[in-house]
Amino acid sequence: MSEKSFTLIELMVVFIVVGIISAIIYGSVTTINERAVFAKAQLFSQKLNSSLAENIAGKWDLNGDTKDLSGNGNDGAIAGTVTWDTNQINCVFGGCATFAVGRIQIPNLTSIPGDMTFSGWFKKTTSTWAAIAFLGKRSSSTGWMLYRNSGDTAGYFRWYSHYVNTSEVISTYYAWPGIYGLEVGKWYHFSVSRTAEGATTIYVNGKITSSYAPPADFSRWSTNTYGVSIGSERSGSSSWSCTEAQIDEVIVYDAALLTAQIQENYYLGLNNLFINNQIGESEYLSRMKTALNE
């Protein structure tokens, strides 16, 4: 009989979660002491995050600029109206980008393999849900995009991409339902992970919301020469420009990450939301339990 073992990263994530939940359970400690415990957990989580560094193709903290922190030189450029919110109480990681009608174009990030993951934080700031994109590298017939179409219901995002089938014809790959039920004024952590074999998984707040097997005629993902864009269809395009929303801490990986790794990224931001009083203790615990309930 074979036995399933835990990977090192899964065990480390468990240690983080147990430590954080234990800190909450001891209700006799002061608020200051509780926050100190959370800060220590955050630092530990950051150390764990560094283990993923070899797979990062680009990382933008959006804390006042569009610099790529991965060291790969994939700096962005603002198009349209994007401003900076430097009040850490409003953002997840120190500061964040506020989109009126705009996008952050990353023209140099053109080569992304079949194994890919991206993640980031999103908050809608008004109740007007226009046609907007979170992240994209898509043309009319190639690439991919996480976006909301104008006819979709409020609080909805869909994953839309193209692939080459076994007859060498480009086909459209839809992942519906995608992300739904988003509320105005709340931060959500999005992740989409895909494999070179065509499987796709969508996460919201560290939990799998949708998982898709490859189409029967899947051969490979389609490619194009366009760059990635935060807040539109692709670099160089204004289609689905992000409107009345905030985005924080966007990361693109050249690997299909495991669920434990996705959750680790989410926990790090969740700690910050709690420390900055954007969510209370009950919501913190609820989100944590939901993410763990796979």
**Residue 278 corresponds to which tokens in the numbers above?**
């954007």
What percent of the chain is modeled with pLDDT above 90? 57
Mean pLDDT for the stretch of residues 244-268 = 91
Domains of the chain from N-terminus onward: 56-257 (2.60.120.200)
Where helices occur in the chain by DSSP H, the ranges are 8-25, 31-49, 259-275, 281-292
pLDDT at residue 234, as a whole number: 96
pLDDT, the chain, mean: 84
Average pLDDT of the segment spanning 180-193? 94
Mean pLDDT of 130-157: 92
Residue 233: is its pLDDT beyond 90?
A: yes
199: three-class secondary structure by DSSP: coil
pLDDT for residue 45 is more than 80: no
CA–CA–CA angle 155, 152, 258 (5° rounding): 60
Number of other CB atoms surrounding residue 46 within 10 Å: 11
In the predicted structure, residue 146 carries a pLDDT above the cut 90: yes
* Terminal Cα-to-Cα distance of the chain (whole angstroms): 24
Higher pLDDT, 26 or 143: 143
CA dist., res. 36 & res. 122, Å (int): 27
Which one has a higher pLDDT value, 35 or 61? 61
With cut-offs at 50, 70 and 90, classify the pLDDT of residue 20: low
Region 68-82 average pLDDT: 95
8, pLDDT greater than 90: no
pLDDT above 50 (res 44): no
Q: Is the pLDDT of residue 1 over 80?
A: no
Of the candidate ranges 15-29, 116-130, 251-265, the one whose mean pLDDT is the lowest: 15-29
Q: Per residue in 86-97, pLDDT tens?
A: 988 899 998 999
Question: Quick check: 177 pLDDT over 60?
Answer: yes
Q: Which of 86, 67, 87, 88 is nearest to 78 (CA)?
A: 67
Work out the number of other CB atoms within 10 angstroms of the CB of residue 210. 18
Three-state SS for 54? helix
Q: How much is the pLDDT for 50?
A: 57
pLDDT-wise least confident of 25-39, 149-163, 272-286: 25-39
What pLDDT, on the 0 to 100 scale, is given for residue 17?
55
Residue 38 has pLDDT above 60, yes or no: no
Confidence of residue 148 (pLDDT cuts 50, 70, 90): very high
pLDDT score, position 95: 92
